[in-house]
Structure 1
């Protein structure tokens, strides 16, 4: 999933985090598509994705709370849903389940939907409140 300018929100800290998430997802894809995936590396990437995503969500939610974003609760529900699914993927992997192409499609689809639809919806509000 190549990084694209259409993912850019114009809020530097969030764009930097989104780029990292896309790159980590690509590293995971490269690993599981290789002839001999290294399960240790796959596990490290998955753990990193879960940790980084949670920290990214905390940043967004902190901005929402400080600025009074009116759609904060709905956005947080999206975050919570993804966090639960990502934790399940990590626990399944730790339990011996492989990371499949279906997993990769889920991650890709979620990132695209979340950045292009859900996150883009808050940009005007944040920018109107001085966040760049």
Structure 2
């Protein structure tokens, strides 16, 4: 059984953003599977690093759209991105220091991304569509 199945509910209706969100969900499921299989520290580290890299690139895409489209809530949205990035970097540091961080990372990814997609990201959809994106 999949740890976190993708659902239509998670779609914001903007193709590029939905593809990126789906990748993040898939990678979160990969982390879960690796933890369940007893993956070694290096494999878990690679998954965490790829999640961080991709997430940062995803945030850049969103934030570029905010800037180009004059999204009025961009500062608050970017602050959430920054807070999440900081938390994930802390988990990566824990992992690199030999502390178990995989389970905590799973909980953070699922909880934060679910809230962020369903509430914060869906809030910009109307603004994006009004400016021809979507």
CA distance in 1, matches of 2:16, 2:75: 21
Unaligned runs of 5+ in 1: none
CA distance in 2, matches of 1:43, 1:37: 10
| TM-score of the two chains, using structure 2 as the length reference | 0.94
Q: CA deviation at 1:100?
A: 4.1
Contact 2:44 2:102 in 1 (8 A): no
Q: CA deviation at 1:27?
A: 0.4
Contact 2:12 2:18 in 1 (8 A): yes
The residue aligned with 1:71 is: 73
Q: What's the C-alpha RMSD, in Å, of the aligned pairs?
A: 1.0
1:38-77: per-residue Cα shift (whole Å, max 9, x none)?
Answer: 2221111100000000000000000000110000000000
The residue aligned with 2:93 is: 91
**Residues paired across the two proteins, number:** 131
| TM-score of the two chains, using structure 1 as the length reference | 0.95
1:69-100: per-residue Cα shift (whole Å, max 9, x none)?
Answer: 00000000000000000111111111111124
Contact 2:92 2:101 in 1 (8 A): no
Runs of 4+ in 1 over 2 A off after TM superposition: 99-103
